[in-house]
Amino acid sequence: MASLHATSVEEWSARLSDADPGRRAKAEEALLAGGEAALPICGALARDPALSVRLSAARIMRKLAERAKVTSSDWLSVEQALLSAPETEVRAAACGLAASSSADPLPRLFEGLADADRAVSMVALVGLARSGLTFDPSPLIERLPEAHGRDPLFPLLWAALKQASPPADPQNIEKFLESPEPVAAVGAARALGQWRATGSAGALAVQAFSERLDSVRHEALAALARLGDAGLNEVIQRARSPEGAVREQAAQALGGFPDSVGHLMALLESDPYPRVRQAASRSLQRLAGLEQDARYDFLYDGPAAEQTAVVERWKSFWKERTPR
């Protein structure tokens, strides 16, 4: 765009630092309308002595990145200039821009994660969580011990860990299952499930069948369901507990495992605790897609004749679906 480059960098700087907000906005709009052609100008403005001008340059480039991938050869030098700026606001903006526009944002985001200012680290973590890319979780795991529940960095670390590849030693995360901080216990369970960490099935089951907050128990159960046979075996062990309340929880949990029909039918037919039988029935309904069909709903306090009828309906239902 000839008209864009007809104006000197100095003049753009003056417009972006004008006392009139309307004029500053018009200058940003003009550069934004220039598209990729505005990048060399923004690159120069990213090194401007005035903080407000550098922030404007970062804001313009972020908007350009949101509209389309920035592929110009000018991009890398502009990005590095922003990431090395002395002001927190500019470095944070650069991290946000790298996350949305770079072909390979991970090096820039990890540079932001290591920034001395936590505000920049927070932007980098959001970028990692949203990147859709897998990465080594070690830098994030190293940051976990220094954070705590009230630290805004803490939930962001756990959100980003979901995106990471499995660590060499999942026990570095497993230990957080016992944290008194719910966000840590939930984050650890979610990450272990995401990584299919079968070796952590036992630790997850301890939390799933504990008296922890519902959020922790539910996330641990969801993780067990992602571990396949390793998770199923842990739940089956609880289904054999002498405690009726534990068996009831196990019956509920078995609804997350497609291969648990035989175990659920055994509980439905013969468990001495009616609430366990009801939980088994409802898990079967979930597996069969019959949640809304009252004919298959075993009620713990229902008439004995109807309870027997429900059990027989389930037997017939699965018999018809068993390969001959």
The full DSSP string for 200-267 is GHHHHHHHHTSSS-HHHHHHHHHHHHHTTHHHHHHHHHHHT-S-HHHHHHHHHHGGG-GGGHHHHHHH
User: Shortest CA distance to 128 belongs to which of 143, 147, 149, 107?
Assistant: 107
For the chain, the distance separating the N- and C-terminal CA atoms, rounded to the nearest angstrom, is 73
Is 40 exposed, middle or buried (CB count within 10 Å of its CB: 0-12, 13-18, 19+)? middle
Residue 78 has a pLDDT of 65
Inter-CA distances, 16 with 29, 32, 42, Å = 11, 13, 11
Phi, psi at 236, each rounded to 5°: -60, -40
Residue 26 has a pLDDT of 94
**DSSP characters over 104-138:** S-HHHHHHHHT-SSHHHHHHHHHHHHHS------H
Measured CA to CA, the distance from residue 66 to residue 45 in angstroms comes to 20
Q: What distance lies between CA 159 and its chain's CA centroid?
A: 4
Measured CA to CA, the distance from residue 48 to residue 8 in angstroms comes to 13
Residue 1 has a pLDDT of 46
10-residue mean pLDDT profile of the chain (324 residues): values are 76 94 93 84 85 83 64 60 76 77 80 89 90 90 79 88 88 90 91 94 95 90 96 97 96 95 96 97 96 95 96 94 65
Residue 44 has a pLDDT of 86
- Residue pair 56/24 in contact by the 8 Å Cβ criterion: yes
Residue 236 has a pLDDT of 97
pTM for this model (two decimals): 0.73
Residue 75 has a pLDDT of 60
Phi, psi at 8, each rounded to 5°: -70, 160
Measured CA to CA, the distance from residue 203 to residue 35 in angstroms comes to 53
Measured CA to CA, the distance from residue 265 to residue 280 in angstroms comes to 7
Q: Which amino acid is at 150?
A: R
Residue 145 has a pLDDT of 81
